[in-house]
Amino acid sequence: MPFDTSTNKAFKEAMDEIFALTMLAETDEEAERWENVSDELAAARKKVIQDDFASRTFAYNFILMRLGAVCNELTKDAYRDAKRRLQSKLLEFRSRLMDSAIDALDQFHNLAVPDEIDTETEDSAALEPQQSAKTDELEDDQNVPAAEAMADAAIMTTTAPSKVRPDLHTEYESMFATCVIRPDKLGSVNWHIGKLKTFREIYEATGTPLSIPWWFVGIIHCMECGFNFEGHLHNGDPLNAKTVHVPKDRPPFDNWDWTSSARDALTMKGFDSWNEWSIAGALYQWERYNGFGYRKFHPETKSPYLWSFSNHYTKGKYVADGEWSASHVSKQCGAATLLRALVNRGLVAL
């Protein structure tokens, strides 16, 4: 019996975190090590589809133990945040396996999962919510007060070395510098920018206490909720109840409103401890939020979650969890494209 949907999604999110380690690696040897671990886990995943009970049990056992071993190997300071996220994903994956109630689970009720695992789970937005394109034309903002843009720059400034691997850092900055909004999408992009401007004060009130810039919060709100304040920032689930999709049962407290729930989503992703709000830093976090599936399995297609509506994206999209279509075209404006538009209009200084 293969993974069920929720378990498969939890496994994918854990794999995304393993792949993210290759981008944080300080040497080629470290990067190769994490790539090998990723390959090992992918191979074990294939064994789960076998009908043989012993093969499934072995595969489940290997995956859990391998993820636990990786957590214990992440001792460098550079991996501190990554270790916390992977521990969270490991716990989530183990929980989903338990919930799936297949016979093989009896084999590893007492597996040695690392004691320091954080009990909070994370969202990894693997699928892109469909946003209807609106073409209302808005005036370009050519006279934005410079003080507003400079206030954003104060939040984004960091003197620490980049946390993003140098080659990836260069790629993000180069692509952002050459990003051009597609002429046929200008009307829709302008509509999105209008929404971000309208709700800016809400995003500032939500993100500033966490040292997260307003535009980063706002663009996630666009990508995950379509600017709907009746949905959780975690995944767009209705705000009138706790989340039912991954991450499930958020926020972990009662009497929430949109702002408190949004802060829960932001802190559980570790954005409050991320101080690199540069072009590369923001694009890295958005890509991690959505998942590295495009980069790992379809490198010929730049992630539409970042680049849709720009010259860097034409077609190709995951239309369902793990279901790839080379011809499908994203109908959602990309996060990097929106940031490019904000910078062009002087609303954000980077």
pLDDT at 1 over 60: no
Confidence of residue 253 (pLDDT cuts 50, 70, 90): very high
Where does residue 227 fall: left (phi above 0), alpha (psi -120 to 50 degrees), or beta otherwise?
Answer: left
Number of other residues whose CB lies within 10 A of the CB of residue 133:
16
* Of 111 and 237, more confident: 237
Whether 164 maps to a domain, the answer reads yes
Whether 233 maps to a domain, the answer reads yes
The Cα–Cα gap between 218 and 220 comes to 5
Taking only Cα atoms into account, the Rg of the chain, rounded to an integer number of angstroms, comes to 20
Whether 141 maps to a domain, the answer reads no
In this structure, the answer to whether residues 97 and 165 fall within a common structural domain is no
Instruction: Round the average pLDDT of the chain to a whole number and report it.
Output: 77
Whether 138 maps to a domain, the answer reads no
pLDDT at 23 over 50: yes
Q: Name beta bridge partners: 324.
A: 318
Whether 349 maps to a domain, the answer reads no
Confidence of residue 20 (pLDDT cuts 50, 70, 90): confident
Give the residue from 46, 81, 108 where a domain finishes: 108
Give the residue from 82, 108, 134 where a domain finishes: 108
Q: Which amino acid is at 285?
A: Q
Least confident interval from 54-58, 192-196, 297-301, 305-309:
54-58
Least confident interval from 23-27, 215-219, 246-250:
23-27
Place of tokens 């994203």: 330
Please report, for residues 3, 13, 79, 132, 306, the alpha-carbon distance to residue 332 in angstroms, rounded to integers and kept in the order given: 29, 22, 32, 7, 10
Summarize pLDDT for 290-339 with one digit per residue, the tens: 888 899 899 999 999 999 999 999 999 988 767 899 999 999 999 999 99
Please report, for residues 122, 189, 190, 263, 310, the alpha-carbon distance to residue 183 in angstroms, rounded to integers and kept in the order given: 37, 10, 11, 35, 9
* Total count of domains within the chain: 2
Which domain, by its residues, includes 98? Answer: 5-108
In this structure, the answer to whether residues 102 and 152 fall within a common structural domain is no
In this structure, the answer to whether residues 256 and 331 fall within a common structural domain is yes
pLDDT at 108 over 60: no
Q: Name beta bridge partners: 320.
A: 323
Please report, for residues 130, 153, 263, 280, 296, the alpha-carbon distance to residue 213 in angstroms, rounded to integers and kept in the order given: 25, 9, 13, 14, 29
Whether 126 maps to a domain, the answer reads no
Whether 121 maps to a domain, the answer reads no
In this structure, the answer to whether residues 232 and 284 fall within a common structural domain is yes
In this structure, the answer to whether residues 212 and 282 fall within a common structural domain is yes
The Cα–Cα gap between 59 and 104 comes to 10
In this structure, the answer to whether residues 82 and 205 fall within a common structural domain is no
In this structure, the answer to whether residues 100 and 150 fall within a common structural domain is no
Whether 64 maps to a domain, the answer reads yes
Q: So what's the pLDDT on residue 102?
A: 42
In this structure, the answer to whether residues 275 and 336 fall within a common structural domain is yes
- Residue 109 makes CB contacts below 8 A (sequence gap 6+) with none
Give the residue from 56, 83, 108 where a domain finishes: 108
Q: So what's the pLDDT on residue 300?
A: 93
In this structure, the answer to whether residues 61 and 179 fall within a common structural domain is no
Summarize pLDDT for 147-156 with one digit per residue, the tens: 444 444 433 4
In this structure, the answer to whether residues 102 and 150 fall within a common structural domain is no
- Residue 133 makes CB contacts below 8 A (sequence gap 6+) with 185, 188, 331, 333
* Of 250 and 157, more confident: 250
In this structure, the answer to whether residues 170 and 95 fall within a common structural domain is no
Nearest one of 313, 301, 299, 285 to 124, comparing CA atoms: 285
